[in-house]
A and B are shown apart, each in its own frame.
Chain A
Amino acid sequence: MIRLLRARGLLVAPSWTAFLLIFVAPLVYFFVVSFWRVSAFKMRPDASLANYIQTVTDYNASILFTFLVALTIAVLVTVVAFGFSFYIRFKVGRFGDTFLFIVLITLFGGYLTKIYVWKTILGENGVLNSALLSLGLIRDPITVFLYNPAAVVITLGHYTLPLAILPIYGALRGVEDTPLRCAQDLGASHWRVVRDIILPQCRIGILFAFTLTYLFAAGDYVTPQLVGGPYTSMIGVLIQLQFGFRFNAPLGSALAFTMIAIALLTVGIVAFALREWLRPRG
């Protein structure tokens, strides 16, 4: 028995080592650093809450804005991802995997490519304006399509959609057809079947989709700068500024851990709400 446990311990040792070194250690390090201070461009150990106080007082607007943008993206993308996953699971039969493959292949283009694709579509001389002009629907190009928070929502939403589809589709694949047919044979409406059988069974998939999308959107600092325009001040840009420009890793860490706390709280609330809402009814 002991030999077996030792063997198992050796087998999982690399995984644990990687986990501790790659995930736990940096988190612990930056959490400790978030209580330090900077003097003469160098970090000095301290045990101060000053960085967190500054986070709340000086960065609240950007944090709130980031939260709202990320929440909007996460909700919209999760809803669309569920609709698409539902369709390819239940409506297109054996072509489901083909549809999924087409969705996933859009990830191959990369993140920046998608940003520039949307700039090409939404720009003043972009595809959308060109189409509207050629159809005679507008006389002059519309400038409001790009360089605003909506463009950030669209661009990040497009990028994260495949990431949200995967867990939901995976969960839907686990839903067996027999209970669905039984419920329908017993007179349950389509909505009742979805609400009481399908949704509760893919609750975790929905939560994963929401979480992945929310975290990606809340942490991104490239898209806001490329398509967000002058009114989109997301916190990722300011965190990057602390590390990249101001040598202020303590404040950057405090900002990052504040966002992590908000993310955990948000995901926790959504998890609780989903569990309550999707509790099977008697």
Chain B
Amino acid sequence: MNGKRPISPLRTEVRVSETGLVRSRHYLPLTRREFGLGAAAAVGAAAVGLPGTNASAATGVNFMGWQGYDDGINVDNWLEKNGIELKPTYIGTNEEIIAAASAGGVGTMDIATPAEIYLPVYRAAGILEPLDLDRIPNYAGIYPEIKDFMPIDEGNTVIGLPFVWGDVPLMYNAEVIQEPPDSWHALTDERYKGRVGMVYDVMGIMVHSPLAATSTKTPTRITQEELDQTIAWLIKIKKEYARTVVPSYGELAALFANGEVVIAPAWTPTAAWAGEDAPKLDWVIPKEGALVFVDIFSMIRDAPHKDLNYKILNHTLSPEAQANTANLNLTAVTVEDAVPLLDELPRSLYHYEDIAGWFEKTGGPYPPWSTEQEGDFLNYDQILQGWERFLQA
């Protein structure tokens, strides 16, 4: 398995399927795991359980998650055909779901899309409903390798369904950097000083940075000393090597496109969003490893529309919904039967032929961050304290 994948086939796809690209580029900068504009308003709205208006005969189901996932599952107007009016509240961070559910959302919220790596935090908050897999027959179609990362609670009960996955490799401008870098330390290469990009992505950065700055193989289990080393390394990049730190991978794509950065940790679709006029972008999984994330669909505890929620949850694992989501968002599917339905572009971004090998190469998905300090290993809040030091520097 070669970690480096050429971008050239993507460009051909982009030209042929221009409509798809435009959709992605326009909404994705506002949809993925970075700071979301209007997040506070979204949290507030969800916290008070704003039900919205119910103008149609369809039943309203309150959804809180990433923008784009709701469109993805609505393949062929599935929601309308099934009498469901999805009422979305879009998030900018995973934490917004917890904040909303904890602040009164339990009992009014139905479905949310947390990331697998945050599950202990969700478990600690006690906001996810255990699922009855007998009511989700499409569960059987999930890749066995991905089932290994099924989110479960303390009682070994499933509390979410792997919906999409993706990775954050080291991306570079292949027209400037002819020899593919093999380490995250390329970010501190003097040749790229002032040309390094960074994104305010806690999950992305706080997984690959400990791998680079310390000797740990499990970046979600680090000590205070390792955190200090990690933050020092990050601050050094920010102060001495970075062109800027941007709030989204969409912004990063623009920086790559206009040549302002030549190397950066980047979510894989960033290369496609940069557009066909951008420099040639390649990416590698550095030898230290990289983030692989899995986003899940979960039901919020005491959800008001359980039967409909089960119907939706099962549908999210249908090949059609999976493929439509991936085609719209350039995420990876979790159901094997969805792969033949994928467009060329999203299919070419991920290693469906050997998912297990890809996970082994990246090292991920890593164990979720812990909510409690485990021996010398820091908890999630302590990791965030380090992240704050990076932001303040």
Q: Give residues in A with beta carbon < 8 Å to B.
A: 40-42, 59, 61-62, 112, 123-125, 143, 146-147, 222, 225-226, 228-231, 233, 237-238, 240-241, 243-247
A240→B37 CA distance, assembly (Å): 11
Inter-subunit contact A233/B102 (CB<8 Å): no
Given contacts A59-B392, A123-B258, 9 further A-B contacts (CB under 8 A): A40-B371, A143-B243, A222-B37, A228-B244, A230-B239, A230-B244, A233-B391, A245-B93, A245-B95
Give the residues in chain A near B381, CB-CB below 8 Å: 246
B246 partner, pick from A61, A143, A226, A240, beta carbons under 8 A: A226
- Chain B residues engaging chain A, CB cutoff 8 angstroms: 35, 37, 39-40, 43, 92-93, 95-96, 98-99, 102, 121, 124-125, 194, 198, 200, 202, 238-239, 242-247, 251, 258-260, 371, 381, 384, 387-388, 391-393
Closest Cβ–Cβ distance, residue B252 to chain A (whole Å): 12
Which are the 5 A-B pairs with shortest beta-carbon distances? A147-B244, A229-B244, A230-B238, A225-B247, A125-B258
Specify the chain B residue showing the minimal Cβ separation from A243: B40
A233 and B392 within 8 A (CB): yes
- A40, A62, A238, A244: which contacts B39 (Cβ < 8 A)? A244
A243 and B99 contact, CB distance less than 8 A: yes
The interface residues of chain B lying within 8 Å CB-to-CB of A124 are 258-260
Q: Is the CB of A40 within 8 A of B124?
A: yes
Q: In the bound complex, do residue A240 and residue B260 qualify as a contact, i.e. CB atoms below 8 Å apart?
A: no
Contact A240 B371, beta carbon cutoff 8 Å: no
A241 in contact with B388 (CB, 8 Å): yes
The smallest beta-carbon distance between A56 and chain B, in angstroms, is 14
Task: Determine whether the beta carbon of A244 is less than 8 Å from that of B392.
Answer: no
> How far is B371's CA from A7's CA once the two chains are assembled, in angstroms?
57
A-B interface contact total, Cβ < 8 Å: 88
Give 22 pairs: A residue, B residue, CB < 8 Å, sorted on A: A41-B102, A41-B121, A42-B125, A59-B392, A123-B258, A124-B258, A125-B259, A143-B194, A146-B244, A147-B244, A222-B247, A225-B245, A230-B245, A233-B392, A240-B40, A243-B99, A244-B35, A244-B39, A244-B95, A245-B384, A246-B381, A246-B384
Name the residue in A228, A231, A244 with the highest tally of chain B Cβ atoms < 10 Å from its Cβ: A244
Complex alpha-carbon distance, A114 and B381, angstroms: 35
Residue in A closest to B121 when the chains form the complex, CB atoms: A41
Complex-state Cα separation, A147 to B92, whole angstroms: 23
Q: Which residues in A have their C-beta under 8 angstroms from that of B371?
A: 40-41
Contacts of A246 in B (CB 8 A): 95, 381, 384, 388
- Measured in the bound complex, the distance between the Cα atoms of B40 and A243 in whole Å is 8
Does B37 lie within 8 Å of A112, measured CB to CB? yes
Docked Cα-Cα span, A255 to B78, in Å, equals 46
| Bound Cα distance A42, B121 (Å) | 11
Given contacts A125-B259, A240-B35, is CB(A61)–CB(B251) below 8 Å?
Answer: no
Tell me the minimal C-beta distance from B194 to chain A in angstroms.
7
When chains A and B are docked, how far (Å) is the Cα of A146 from the Cα of B258? Answer: 14
Chain A residues with CB under 8 A of B96: 244
Question: In the complex, how many angstroms separate the beta carbon of A77 from the nearest chain B beta carbon?
Answer: 23
A233, B393: Cβ atoms under 8 Å?
Answer: yes
Which of B244, B245, B247, B387 has its CB near the most chain A CB atoms (within 10 A)? B244
* Across-interface contacts of B243 in A (CB, < 8 A): 143, 147, 229
User: How far apart are the CA atoms of A237 and B393 in the complex, in Å?
Assistant: 13
Q: How far does the Cβ of B250 sit from chain A's closest Cβ, in whole Å?
A: 11
Smallest Cβ distance from B170 to chain A, in angstroms?
Answer: 19
Q: A61, B392: Cβ atoms under 8 Å?
A: yes
**In whole angstroms, what is the CA distance A244 to B393 when docked?**
20
Once the chains are docked, how many angstroms separate the CA of A41 from the CA of B40?
17
The reply to whether B202 and A245 form a contact with Cβ atoms under 8 Å apart is yes
Query: Which one of B35, B43, B98, B194 contacts A41 once the chains associate, using CB atoms below 8 Å?
Result: B98
Report the nearest A residue to B96, measured CB to CB: A244
Query: Smallest CB-CB separation from B385: which chain A residue?
Result: A246
Complex contact B35–A238 (CB within 8 A): no
Which B residues lie within 8 Å of A228 (CB)?
244
A240 near B39: Cβ-Cβ < 8 Å: yes
Q: Which residues of A contact B260 (CB under 8 A)?
A: 123-125, 143
Chain A residues with CB under 8 A of B39: 240, 244
Chain B residues with CB under 8 A of A238 = 388, 391-392
List the A side residues contacting B247 at CB < 8 Å.
Answer: 222, 225-226
B391 touches A237 (CB 8 A): yes
Q: Known interface pairs A230-B244, A245-B384. Does A42 touch B102 (Cβ–Cβ under 8 Å)?
A: yes
A26 to chain B, nearest CB (A): 10
Residues on the A chain within 8 Å of B238, using CB: 230
How far, in angstroms, from A231 to B208 measured CA to CA in the complex?
22
Most B-side CB within 10 Å, residue of A124, A125, A241 = A241
Q: Please tell me if the beta carbons of A247 and B391 are within 8 angstroms of each other in the complex.
A: no
Nearest-CB distance from B393 to chain A (Å)? 7
Whether B124 contacts A244 by the Cβ 8 Å rule is no
Within 8 Å CB of B93, what residues of A? 244-245
Residues of A within 8 A of B121 (CB): 41
Q: How far is the CB of A44 from chain B (nearest CB, A)?
A: 13
Central interface residue in A62, A230, A238, A247, by most chain B CB within 10 Å = A230
Complex Cα gap A244–B99 (Å): 8
